[in-house]
Structure 1
Amino acid sequence: MNQPVPYEGLPGGIGVSRLRVYDWPAADRLRGGTPHLHLTCSEGYAVTGGTGAVQTLTADGFLRTPLAPGALVWFTPGTIHRLVNEGDLTINVLMQNCGLPEAGDAVLTLPPPLLADPDTYRAAVALPADGSEAELAAAARRRRDLAVEGFTALREATEAGDPEPLAAFHRAAAALVRPLAAQWRERWRAGAAAAAEATGAHLDRLEHGDAGYLARAAVRAEQPSVRGRFGMCGRLDVYDVA
């Protein structure tokens, strides 16, 4: 009989953060975050305050989904998404595969020359390590504006019936993160895979009438480990739930 696999993270190995979406206006006069996609992680939004929308772009086209308190929206890897803040938009963000998004499982929709190689890309998206609040905000806004520029070009090409720019962005994104895939696998094994294995072990126990594992029940509570961090889409309160 399998022993229950130790796992104390959030259900399903997810990550969670509280997001206050940027209200900086972009070139198209919309206020909001930085367009990007994830390579291996689905993402979900549980809207808790304010109003806005999430713009998404896939091979099937462009979509605008309204966001208001009570809305629950999620999308799969490869979905380019851009949050638009129409008034105090606040979201609880749910991320698949806790640990992978933090390890780089996101690529911003920068103009193609900035996606040419990892060093060029990292230089374009990095925030100053010891910057002041104003310096961090300025750097986050610059990279947001670059990503909106690239996103706009991808959207226009897709809507004009030309799939190649979006496909080229997908190829560039995969090439940028390929060197990280092996270490991501280890994070996945310790997180989402371990959560699934724990359920399988519990089912094995139940089928044999063994309730002994229930005596090892535990409770965990967390306050944010970081508050107000400059993220891709807004200011983040981050929870340590791994």
Structure 2
Amino acid sequence: MVTSPEGFAGLPGAVAVSHLRVYEWEAADGVRGGTPHLHLTCSEGYVVTAGRGAVQTLGPEGFAVTPLAPGALVWFTPGTIHRLVNEDGLRIVVLMQNSGLPEAGDAVLTLPPEYLSDPGTYARAVRIPSAAEASEAEQAAVARRRRDLAVEGFTVLRTAWEAGDTRPLLDFQRAAAALVRRRVARWRERWEAGAAEAARQTGAQLDRLEEGDASYLAGARLYARTPAAHGGFGMCGRLDTYDVPL
């Protein structure tokens, strides 16, 4: 993430955007799709551009399946466990709150409890080797194994919840928070430079407009980007991402 010398220059509201082709790999339960996970501090939104599928979610309101078709707009708040299901070539534009935080590890996968015991164990379980370390086929195999582990853990959480046992979900939430706790100071720095700074600039602009001062408009800028990376192995599918400044 690049910091702009002019101040905050990221996308509106400090969101992050990427293009996602949802995995077509079939899991043990016969469902094709991505890796269940939650975010600790970031809301997430989907704009469906092609194909069909669904998003399975699990949270305080229970388990739900929301259909996804072209034109659909779906979003959910931090703490919502979500799993994308690919029924037919599902493609999505993903919008993430707090640009910079998802890239810094805001997401935690629903791995079985033994993988959540400490940050080192978790990091080894979720890491996908770089292109310099492994072939694309090897990277895909690691991503699929990681997905399958998360589906295993997700199935336990869902089954327990539907049986009226909330303890496994609460235990997972506590474990997720413990895993990321040491990163929070660095996240705060990114948030201060991104989303918080975007809000501060809007406040300053409102103050100046109240005073009849429009001089800040002289600093207007246009920014344009094309994807900086194509086909990366994300949690839910292959990602095309942008290098957007803070």
The structure 2 residue matched to 1:140, chosen from 139, 143, 146, is 143
**1:39 maps to what in 2?**
40
Alpha-carbon distance in 2 for matches of 1:213, 1:128: 46
Classify the secondary structure of the residue corresponding to 1:28.
coil
Give the deviation of 1:241 after TM superposition: 1.6
Q: TM-score, normalised by structure 1?
A: 0.97
**1:164 maps to what in 2?**
167
Classify the secondary structure of the residue corresponding to 2:100.
coil
Matches within 5 A, 1:194-205: 194-205=197-208
**2:154 maps to what in 1?**
151
**1:193 maps to what in 2?**
196
User: Percent same amino acid at aligned positions?
Assistant: 71
Classify the secondary structure of the residue corresponding to 1:86.
strand
1:207 matched to 2:210: yes
> What per-residue deviation string (whole Å, max 9, x for no partner) do you get for residues 52-106 of structure 1?
0000000220000000000000000000000000001000000000000000000
**2:183 maps to what in 1?**
180
Does the CA contact (< 8 Å) of 1:227 and 1:237 recur in 2? yes
Q: What amino acid is the match of 1:177?
A: V
Q: What amino acid is the match of 1:104?
A: G
Alpha-carbon distance in 2 for matches of 1:54, 1:191: 28
Aligned alpha-carbon RMSD (Å): 0.8
Matches within 5 A, 1:53-202: 53-129=54-130, 130-202=133-205
> What per-residue deviation string (whole Å, max 9, x for no partner) do you get for residues 185-209 of structure 1?
0000000001100100100110011
> What per-residue deviation string (whole Å, max 9, x for no partner) do you get for residues 137-174 of structure 1?
00000000000000000000000000000000000000
**2:17 maps to what in 1?**
16
Classify the secondary structure of the residue corresponding to 2:27.
coil
Alpha-carbon distance in 1 for matches of 2:204, 2:60: 39
Classify the secondary structure of the residue corresponding to 2:49.
strand
Q: What amino acid is the match of 1:172?
A: A
Does the CA contact (< 8 Å) of 1:15 and 1:95 recur in 2? yes
Alpha-carbon distance in 2 for matches of 1:211, 1:111: 56
Give the deviation of 1:17 after TM superposition: 0.3
Structure 2 gaps of 5+ residues are 1-5
Structure 1 gaps of 5+ residues are none
Q: TM-score, normalised by structure 2?
A: 0.96
Give the deviation of 1:7 after TM superposition: 1.6
Q: Structure 1: which 4+ aligned runs deviate by more than 3 Å? A: none
Alpha-carbon distance in 1 for matches of 2:42, 2:12: 15
Alpha-carbon distance in 1 for matches of 2:218, 2:129: 48
**2:3 maps to what in 1?**
none
